[in-house]
Amino acid sequence: MNRPILIFVPLAFGVFLLLGLAAFPTLDDYGFMTEFREFDLFDKVSHLYQTHNGRYFQVTFIGYVMSTIAKQFDPFTALDAYHALPILVIAAFFLPLRALARSMGYGDNRFPRGWVSFGVLCLILIYFIHMPRPASGLYWASGAFGYHTGTILFLLILSSLFNFGRTTSPARFIYALIAIVCTVCAIGTNEILIFFLGTSLFFGTLISRRMQSPSAWLWLTCLITAILCLPIPFLSPAMWNRMEVAQAASSTETFQLIPAIIDSIHWSGRYYLSWVCSPLLLVSSLILLPFAAKVVDGHHFFQKVRIHHWLLAMILLPGVIWFSWFIPAAVGLEMPKRAANQVYFIFLVLWFTQLHLFVAAWINRGVKTRFERLSTARIMPILFILACFVPGDRFLLPPNNLLTGIYSLTGPAWSYRNSYTERFEQVGNALDTGAKDVYWKPLQSKPKLLFFGDIIDQPDSWQNGDIARYFGFEKLYLQPTEKP
């Protein structure tokens, strides 16, 4: 393996981990920790199901994590643990991604030890570099838990389905159980994930039945399970309340099909074109080709793939990305970037999956490929490193969070950290004096990768109220405000 890339990838991750030292809870984080600290977990989950949203598993999981943190640690210790959030995100993605890679044939002793794990880390790094908004995907616990949980379940479902088809031992039924249980949980995460999961299970069922795969019945079982679970989130009282709120906040009073189609094509097209035109994605795809050629050769799932299957996948990929944007566009809203984070990760998984279909289609056609030459080209890892430094946030290019992160570490991130350190000192002083209220100074900087939201100059707002309750105060004021 090329030594420069072995050195570069850990250093690149180091940028995001160092930024984690300047990350602090914000907005919903305080609210969740306070509410689940003060109330019984399942009573609160039931209340949120009735009033907030029908995402039964997402709310239960976040509630359990937040209540555990809030009850086991004092408020300041819990804040210190927050700095480890990027490490948790990396670990949470690494394990199911590696399981998915092994289920596709990357664990059959075809590659030197450690290569598959390193490849998984490279995929995670690509995600971090081009993530639409890291502030809500890496450094905001509620957003990370709320959206990444569904994505991780999605990966576990796919890996279990693939493993079930490749295994003949009685242990295969453990994979079946994992797939079914994860499907039940995944339907209770968020609407975007439900759409991608349902689409994947539908087409997976069709393909596996057509190929007479031994896993066809499990694909169908997971699809039926997902359909049976759909009423739980979508028929909840909270779902109808959210739809009414979204409709009230939208730019249209009634559903208009043509404007929704046009808006969703514009919004999704802007993202999709920047993703597929990313030099980093293109170089990574070239690097993967020779490895994919080794994997698809003899794999049961790829044995009957033909060119038209790959072409269909290429057409469906932008189609499902577009439809994921059409869902919020139907009520006049653009997809929030915290949800776009999830869509981008699923896009990466689907992109590299269809790349395997492309390779399989040519191999099954009997065409002699020259992909192995790419594996010996020493220039490819160097091109990968250079692609990581291509400036982003411009025409047909996604954001480059690595460059933004490096810039933040030169000053803005530490100014942001110092501001919060000073705020917590104000909290400590107020607690020592027994004050009922506390005052916070305005942030000195708001780094793009770290800042998600802040308190406002309204002490009775929910933003200020949640933080005040978390520390045990009646009100939280933003200085300089006129003291009552």
**All residues at 6 or more sequence positions from 251 whose CB lies less than 8 Å from its CB, including other chains:** 332
Identity of the residue numbered 331: V
User: How open is the CA angle 118-121-122, to the nearest 5 degrees?
Assistant: 90
**All residues at 6 or more sequence positions from 256 whose CB lies less than 8 Å from its CB, including other chains:** none
Dist CA 347 CA 199 (whole Å) = 13
- CA-based nearest residue to 48, from 265, 325, 236: 236
**All residues at 6 or more sequence positions from 315 whose CB lies less than 8 Å from its CB, including other chains:** none
Buried residues in 412-441 as b, exposed as e (16+ CB within 10 A)? bbbebbebbeebeebbeebeeeeeeebbbe
Residue 262 tokens read as: 């046009």
What single DSSP character describes residue 482?
-
Q: Could you read off the pLDDT of 261-283 as tens digits, one per residue?
A: 888 898 888 999 999 999 999 99
Contact 477/438 with Cβ under 8 angstroms? yes
Listed range (62-71, 339-348, 372-381) with the worst mean pLDDT: 372-381
Residue 255 tokens read as: 């559903």
Phi, psi of 256 (to 5 degrees): -125, 115
**3-state DSSP call for residue 475?**
strand
Domain boundary assignment for the chain: 3-408, 412-459+473-478
Number of Cβ within a 10 Å radius of residue 478: 19
Q: Could you read off the pLDDT of 130-170 as tens digits, one per residue?
A: 999 999 999 988 888 888 999 999 999 999 998 887 777 78
Residue 151 tokens read as: 């994505």
CA distances from 153 to 71, 93, 183, 243 (A): 27, 10, 7, 26
| Arithmetic mean of pLDDT over the chain | 86
**All residues at 6 or more sequence positions from 331 whose CB lies less than 8 Å from its CB, including other chains:** 243, 246, 247, 250, 252, 255
Provide the β-strand partners of residue 475.
437
Q: Once rounded to an integer, what is the mean pLDDT over residues 425-451?
A: 92
Q: Which residue has the tokens 């309340």?
A: 241
Query: DSSP 3-state helix, strand, coil percentages of the chain (rounded to 5)?
Result: 70, 0, 25
Dist CA 280 CA 288 (whole Å) = 12
**HSE toward the beta carbon, residue 127, CA cutoff 13 A:** 28
**3-state DSSP call for residue 394?**
strand
Q: Once rounded to an integer, what is the mean pLDDT over residues 174-197?
A: 93
Contact 466/27 with Cβ under 8 angstroms? yes
Binned at pLDDT 50, 70 and 90, residue 33 comes out as: confident
Dist CA 259 CA 247 (whole Å) = 15
Q: Which residue has the tokens 């514009």?
A: 266
Contact 408/450 with Cβ under 8 angstroms? yes
Q: Could you read off the pLDDT of 34-54 as tens digits, one per residue?
A: 888 777 788 888 888 888 788
Dist CA 275 CA 256 (whole Å) = 28
Q: Is the pLDDT of residue 482 over 50?
A: no
Task: Show the DSSP H helices in 365-400 as ranges.
Answer: 372-375, 379-387
Calculate the CA 223 to chain-centre distance. 22
**HSE toward the beta carbon, residue 350, CA cutoff 13 A:** 27
The structure's pTM equals: 0.91
Q: Which residue has the tokens 């050769």?
A: 297
Contact 347/200 with Cβ under 8 angstroms? no
Q: Could you read off the pLDDT of 450-478 as tens digits, one per residue?
A: 998 899 888 889 889 989 998 989 999 98
User: How open is the CA angle 344-123-137, to the nearest 5 degrees?
Assistant: 45
**3-state DSSP call for residue 437?**
strand
- Contacts of residues 40-46 at CB distance under 8 Å and 24 or more positions apart, as own/partner, are 41/67
CA distances from 157 to 180, 186, 201, 253 (A): 8, 9, 10, 39
- CA-based nearest residue to 68, from 84, 49, 81, 50: 81
Binned at pLDDT 50, 70 and 90, residue 483 comes out as: very low
Q: Could you read off the pLDDT of 106-135 as tens digits, one per residue?
A: 876 777 778 899 999 999 999 999 999 999
Dist CA 270 CA 398 (whole Å) = 9
The residue that leads in pLDDT, 392 or 341, is 341
Q: Is the pLDDT of residue 254 over 70?
A: no
Q: Once rounded to an integer, what is the mean pLDDT over residues 1-13?
A: 88
Contact 153/196 with Cβ under 8 angstroms? no
How long, in residues, is the chain? Answer: 484
